[in-house]
Amino acid sequence: MNINLLFCDTCSTAFLPPKYVCPNCYNVNLIEKKMSGKGTIYSYTTIYSAPEKFSLDAPYHIILVDLAEGHRITARLAVGEPSIEQKVELHKIADSVYWFSLN
């Protein structure tokens, strides 16, 4: 599964959709590029005391993923225990949340 990142054609800032203007320079000319959805865990945290909306999910893991193409995104780990530099791959996107699974 691929990840679509937006890039500003003026300042080259990369960010996740949905966005309609560059958050850095406010340019409206954005370019969409596909990323592989593969990466490694840069960092993570485990949420034990979650907001009410996610309380039934607790405990769950929030991970920072370094994508193979060099960009970093925040995501949820679908199942398993994370560790730094562990390989992951995009599992699904739901409600603007990126879910990764362990490789």
Could you tell me the two tokens for 24? Answer: 């850095």
Residue 19 tokens read as: 């966005």
Give the pLDDT confidence score for residue 92 in this predicted structure: 95
How many domains in the chain?
Answer: 2
pLDDT per residue over 23-63, tens digit each? Answer: 999 999 999 999 999 999 999 999 999 999 999 999 999 99
Domain assignment of residue 25, given as a range: 1-35
Q: What's the pLDDT at 28?
A: 95
User: Is residue 72 domain-shared with residue 103, that is, in the same domain?
Assistant: yes
pTM > 0.75: yes or no: yes
Same domain, 4 and 42: no
> Where would I find the H helices in 9-74?
none
Same domain, yes or no: 57 and 83? yes
Q: Same structural domain for residues 29 and 43?
A: no
Q: Are residues 29 and 58 in the same domain?
A: no
Pairing of strands 72-77, 97-102: parallel
| 21 & 48 share domain | no
